[in-house]
A and B are shown apart, each in its own frame.
Chain A
Amino acid sequence: MALEESHVRRAAHLARLAVSDDQASGFVDDLSRILDMVDQLQSLDTEGVTPLAHPLDATQRLRADEVTETNQRDTFQRCAPAVENGLYLVPRVVE
């Protein structure tokens, strides 16, 4: 599949990645090759094969509904750039 630079820009934006012009054209080539490989896989006949949700052949273990965590706010907030009144502060998000 032929990827265009606009596709790369959009994917980068959605993932909040800063991609320079030089990098963008490189990614167009790299990602196109990956998509070519996907195209190749698509040619396989998967009729009757259940889609795979997880590579491990196992099922989810469940935990009992118990509170096991204690308040460690001070520890967690030590690496936060800005906190106030117990809140994490982030650049203003305008609704």
Chain B
Amino acid sequence: MQWETVIGLEVHVQLATRSKIFSGASTAFGAEPNTQACAVDLGLPGVLPVLNEQAVAMAVQFGLAVHADIAEVSVFDRKNYFYPDLPKGYQTSQMYHPIVGPGEVEITLEDGSTKRIRIHHAHLEEDAGKSLHEDFHGMTGIDLNRAGTPLLEIVSEPDMRSAKEAAAYLKAIHSIVTYLGISDGNMAEGSMRCDVNVSVRPKGQEAFGTRAEIKNVNSFRFVERAIAFEVERQIELIEDGGSVVQETRLFDPDRDETRSMRTKEEANDYRYFPCPDLLPVVLDQAYLDHLRGQLPELPADKRERFQNELGLSAYDANVISASRDMAEFFEAVHSECGDAKQAANWVQGELSGALNRESLSIANSPISARQLGELISRVLDDTINGKAAKEVFQALWNGQGESADEVIEAKGLKQVTDTGAIEAMIDQVIADSPAQVAQYRDSEPEKRGKMIGYFVGQVMKASRGTANPQQVNGLLKEKLDALL
């Protein structure tokens, strides 16, 4: 039987506010336990929450970026459950009137095709604290620094049909929130966390199968792996005559499997009700217009512009536009050298490779966009050849010189295009290599093309890499063939 996978994602994005959603405690990462948990976060008696205006603005910006309806009136509800890292006994969330209504995100797949994924809604809520289960004499340690950190939970429609689509969607959300600057998007530190709903159904069937929810899948790669495992598990289960149980499962990246989070508790009953401590949040049109006016150019728009106006391939446009830092770096390189294709090649090739090797982000690149743009200009105007360009790049990377011109000058890398000079070098090489010349002369004409490589190498070496390779090739062939 042919099966179809149906996937929906719930993405929790930690908003990059300075203070918490309902209190003035700091949200900075990595502080000593419980030093950033104030009376409101601890749920002490008599405290009242006051909503952070920046959290509201960030949620609205996200909504505008995904072309969603923004609720004129949104309401906070209490989601009641007991857990030690939730001191109030409820999480303040938005169940019935979320701030961001239906919207959509465009994702780009590996083959360059695009697909629209609908967003059901996005709502504001507070994060819980952290439970540390290492052994504290048989007890659990609780750190409430994270309690009250603002989260935007983005709930998709079940529109994805493969693990690759789910990963592409998560990347699209990551791009949008980092472009907007509403989250640092750091998945390793938990700034973006993801729950995945997966089900399978026979191809062609309209009704959805029973879904399992996989909790806390915390990297793009894990999303793909968790889904791949879960799909296989569900299909095997059904084909063996069993049926999928609606349940919550946990992905274990070490064993590459999902496991049931068996609980003896009955089904959750959160008994939501409107939070009496918070009034309805009312937003007017002027406010929305103001925020709309501040939106940066978003990844999808950049991608389209890179393709249509700068002539980049779909693949290049997609990779470069995925990160705002990379897109802006590329744009600066392009405006310096004027050649989009070359700028894209260098940013994605030499630069990305060097950054990866040293685990640097593009924002911390030792080479500035202006330096790289100037270097490319020197290749384009034939001042240096490709090989010398890599040497200049390395020198600039290592801080040996302020500009490409300075390095070219200091290292004598200026390309030799003077025919007389190149001919002199060729003559010398031919004179020094009688054995190779004889071999060349005696071999079949069709094999000579390959053999010329030896001479090209010698001439380039003699010129310390500065000779123009096309000229060397042409002149060498003439001179060698004249000896036949």
Does A92 interact with chain B (Cβ within 8 Å)? yes
One of B26, B32, B50 near A69 (C-beta < 8 A): B26
Does A46 interact with chain B (Cβ within 8 Å)? no
Chain B residue with minimal CB distance to A95?
Answer: B133
Interface residues of B in 69-104 (CB under 8 A from A): 73, 75, 80, 82-84, 97
Chain B residue with minimal CB distance to A63?
Answer: B50
Does B25 interact with chain A (Cβ within 8 Å)? yes
The reply to whether B38 and A63 contact each other, CB–CB distance below 8 Å, is no
Q: A65-B17, A86-B34, A87-B34 are in contact. Are A60 and B51 (CB under 8 A)?
A: yes
Give every chain A residue within 8 A of B42 (Cβ-Cβ). 76
Chain B residue with minimal CB distance to A64?
Answer: B53
Does A44 interact with chain B (Cβ within 8 Å)? no
Tell me, in angstroms, the Cα distance from A64 to B53 when the chains sit together: 6
Interface residues of B in 52-77 (CB under 8 A from A): 52-56, 73, 75
The reply to whether B84 and A90 contact each other, CB–CB distance below 8 Å, is yes
Give every chain B residue within 8 A of A53 (Cβ-Cβ). 73, 75, 97, 274, 279-280
B469 to chain A, nearest CB (A): 58
Does B335 interact with chain A (Cβ within 8 Å)? no
Number of B residues whose C-beta is below 8 Å from A?
A: 54
One of B33, B53, B136 near A62 (C-beta < 8 A): B53
Q: A65-B18, A67-B24, A69-B23 are in contact. Are A89 and B281 (CB under 8 A)?
A: no
Does A61 interact with chain B (Cβ within 8 Å)? yes
The reply to whether A60 and B140 contact each other, CB–CB distance below 8 Å, is no
The reply to whether B32 and A91 contact each other, CB–CB distance below 8 Å, is no
Q: How many residue pairs at the A-B interface have CB separations less than 8 Å?
A: 128
Chain B residue with minimal CB distance to A93?
Answer: B140
Give every chain A residue within 8 A of B139 (Cβ-Cβ). 82, 89-92
Tell me, in angstroms, the Cα distance from A66 to B17 when the chains sit together: 9
* Chain A 51-95 near chain B by CB (<8 Å), digits 1 or 0: 001101011111111111101110011000010111111111111
Q: A14-B80, A69-B38, A89-B142 are in contact. Are A59 and B52 (CB under 8 A)?
A: no
Interface residues of A in 6-64 (CB under 8 A from B): 10, 14, 16, 53-54, 56, 58-64
Given contacts A67-B19, A91-B139, 18 further A-B contacts (CB under 8 A): A53-B280, A54-B278, A54-B279, A61-B51, A65-B52, A69-B23, A69-B25, A69-B26, A73-B32, A73-B35, A76-B34, A76-B42, A77-B34, A85-B33, A86-B33, A89-B136, A92-B133, A93-B140
28 pairs from A and B in contact (CB 8 Å cutoff): A14-B269, A53-B280, A54-B279, A60-B280, A60-B281, A61-B50, A61-B51, A62-B52, A63-B24, A63-B52, A65-B52, A67-B24, A69-B23, A69-B25, A69-B38, A71-B35, A73-B32, A76-B39, A86-B35, A87-B33, A88-B142, A89-B139, A89-B140, A89-B142, A90-B140, A92-B139, A92-B140, A93-B133
A contact set with B: CB distance below 8 Å: 10, 14, 16, 53-54, 56, 58-69, 71-73, 76-77, 82, 84-95
Q: Which are the 4 A-B pairs with shortest beta-carbon distances?
A: A68-B24, A87-B141, A65-B54, A62-B53
B contact set with A: CB distance below 8 Å: 17-19, 23-26, 32-39, 42, 44, 50-56, 73, 75, 80, 82-84, 97, 131-133, 136-144, 261, 266, 269, 271, 274, 276, 278-282
